[in-house]
Chains A and B, each alone.
Chain A
Amino acid sequence: MNTGDVSGEQPAGPAKNVDGVIFDLRLYTAGQSPKSILAIENLRRVCDEYLPGRYRIEVIDLLETPEFARAAEIIAVPTLVRRLPLPIRTIIGDLSDTDRVLVGLQLRPDGWRSP
């Protein structure tokens, strides 16, 4: 299943017009915690599968640069922020729930679940 199919099925889907757009993603982690490592792995896997060649990931370790926590309004860790395309979207967690990640990145409509 590719993104084009999904947006085509979607009557009021928010995932429209993201074809070809570069996703600018930032992942906030806390050191080498299991959840942080898992999140990085999950994010790369989802991006490689659903956004091949059009994503950019920046991982920020809050233990190294804690000032980012406040600046980016981070409470939960890990937190993934979609900086582009706008609007900004925030997904918290280790991203192990791929369906929710896709919905969160607006690659799938709200409430969507893989069959």
Chain B
Amino acid sequence: MSDATGADPAAAQNPGAAVLVKAPTGIGGFDEITRGGLPRGRATLVTGGAGSGKTLFGLEFLVWGARKFGEPGVLLSFEESAEELATNVSSLGFDLRQLEREGQLAVDAFRIDRDALMAAGGFDLEGLFIRLGRAVDSIGAKRVVLDTIEALFTALGSELTVRAEVSRLLRWLKDRGLTVIITGEPGRSGELTRYGIEEYVSDCVVVLDDRVQDELATRRLRVAKYRGSLHGTNEYPFVITDRGIVVLPLIETGLAYQASNERISTGIDRLDHMLDGGVYRGSTVLVSGGSGTGKTSLAGHMVDAACRRGERALYVSYEESQDQVLRNMGSIGLDLNRWVESGLLRLWAVRPAAYGLEEHLVQLQRRLDEFGPSLVVLDAMAGLNHIGTSTSVSATIASQIDMIKSRGVTAVLTALTHYGQDESSVMAVSSLMDTWLLLRNTELDGERNRLLLVIKSRGSAHSNQVREFVLTARGAELLDVYVGPRGVLTGSARMAQRADERAAATGRNAQFQRRRQALARRTAQVEQQITALRDELAAELAELDQFIDQDVAAVEGRDADRAVMAAHRWADPGATPDPDANQP
């Protein structure tokens, strides 16, 4: 079959090929991986061992065909009676009897009592054709399921005859444009079917498998062949839920998301700022960190922010009960209870071990579809680690992300990491994340503090700064950290550093003040001295003037005396100057 599988894409790319019309099965996930369902008007072989779910697959094809797509169907059962069939699927909510009453379904169960039957000569399966024809005509059927026609080989003995008749039957069905599922069981040596009927069903082959791997039972589905159509060739896990089969396309729908340019707030202003305005709507945010670093609190803020915007949020808690989550959020000032009451927030607390991985996916999918949130928190992914191998857990988480992202819903995942492996342990999923916030504990001076950094934020500028993440009674806050010669300081160390800085600053101020005062004092002193000197000078000047005045008076007096004396002596006034006259 592998060569045929490889040829399919080429066939689909052939521009001359007729467009293949498909008939949706209505089986969750299957129509996605086959891009529309089964080939319409053709037969599909669904093969799988006992209990692999092939009968259910066929039944769902008929039930959904009638219920969702207005296509009545016929079931020819060669292994189970109509009563058994009806009972087996009633637990899945399929009421075959009701569908029969409505003329949407015709069931014809073939009872072949091998012990009471004997072949004596050539025969054909005209009886089967007549019954099938009547059933198809009676309800205008568009779909037919033959489950499992290989029973005829063992019951009727003549393999050649049955083979020829099966071949004729398939042509007959094709001529009538019926979309058909034929079920089969794999042969002992790994053949698709025990009697090689895949030879007559060349259009589409679906293989179901129920295997135990690492002690975990896992159902797998694979489209082994699909002529003329692209299809996922992976093995897809599927589960049988209380609503039927759900196939889980893991990474198939992966990259067809619409990228929104709208930013939404994380509920923490400074974080929004670090992320250049918040995270993109519909993007995925990973919050990783050790225990007690505040991952849940951060997620809680994003939930709160979403509800404040009037949007719905789904909080999936794998670790804590609803009450616990609400109480813990309350302790940091986040009243999420009001959102629960107003119906905007739905908390789903589920133990990881409550379901298998696939069932977790199905449950999540159901909640996404029913509740329609715009933001989903998965807290914490690590919870799933205990219920599967690391590959299957990673695949499951990838599916969850895919499932959320494909709906345009913003996803917030928290991941517990352990000291020393902060960034590596979540590598498996980190590549699927658009924004990665890392919370880290630091220990210094006997206390722990939280740091937050943005490791990446796709399509967005973001801060490369480390911030301290502080949980207060009013909610989370981001603070600048002190980066200095002693490294990054947080908490008390940061506060101490601040105090030191303040003290130092105060000291310097006082010194300036003192110097300024000293200088002022000195200035005053100098000015005083200047004034004193000036006064002194002025005093001396005044003294000098007085002296000069006295001297002039004295000279004048002496001249007068001299004139008196000259007159008295009869001396020549200009002949002999008085030597005393030049003395100061």
* Of A63, A91, A93, most B-chain CB atoms within 10 Å: A93
B130→A62 contact, CB < 8 A:
yes
- Nearest chain B residue, comparing its CB with the CB of A38: B121
Among residues 24 to 71 in chain A, which have CB atoms less than 8 Å away from a CB atom of chain B? Answer: 28, 30, 33, 35, 38-39, 42, 62-63, 66-67, 69-70
Q: Mark B113-156, 1 if CB is under 8 A from A, else 0.
A: 10011111111111110110110000000000000000010001
B122→A75 contact, CB < 8 A:
no
- Nearest chain A residue, comparing its CB with the CB of B134: A66
Q: Mark B69-86, 1 if CB is under 8 A from A, else 0.
A: 000000000000000000
Q: CA of A98 to CA of B121 in the docked complex: distance in angstroms?
A: 9
Q: A89 on the interface (CB 8 Å rule)?
A: yes
Among residues 57 to 115 in chain A, which have CB atoms less than 8 Å away from a CB atom of chain B? Answer: 62-63, 66-67, 69-70, 73-79, 87-98, 100-101, 103-104
A95→B127 contact, CB < 8 A:
no
| Known contacts A67-B134, A92-B156, A77 near B108 by CB under 8 Å | no
Q: CA of A103 to CA of B156 in the docked complex: distance in angstroms?
A: 16
Partner of A96 from the list B117, B122, B133 (CB cut-off 8 Å) is B122
Q: How large is the interface on B (under 10, 10 to 19, 20 to 34, 35 or more residues)?
A: 20 to 34
A93→B130 contact, CB < 8 A:
no
Main secondary structure, interface of B, reads mixed
| Known contacts A63-B130, A77-B127, A90 near B117 by CB under 8 Å | yes
B116→A62 contact, CB < 8 A:
no
A77→B124 contact, CB < 8 A:
yes
* Residues in B whose Cβ lies below 8 Å from that of A91: 117-120
B120→A97 contact, CB < 8 A:
yes
* Residues in A whose Cβ lies below 8 Å from that of B152: 75
| Known contacts A75-B110, A75-B152, A100 near B127 by CB under 8 Å | no
* Residues in A whose Cβ lies below 8 Å from that of B156: 75-76, 92
| Known contacts A30-B130, A75-B128, A79-B127, A35 near B116 by CB under 8 Å | no
Q: B111 on the interface (CB 8 Å rule)?
A: yes
Partner of B131 from the list A33, A39, A69 (CB cut-off 8 Å) is A69
Interface residues of B (CB under 8 A from A): 108, 110-113, 116-128, 130-131, 133-134, 152, 156
Given contacts A76-B123, A96-B120, 10 further A-B contacts (CB under 8 A): A33-B126, A67-B134, A69-B134, A70-B108, A73-B112, A76-B125, A79-B123, A90-B113, A90-B116, A104-B118
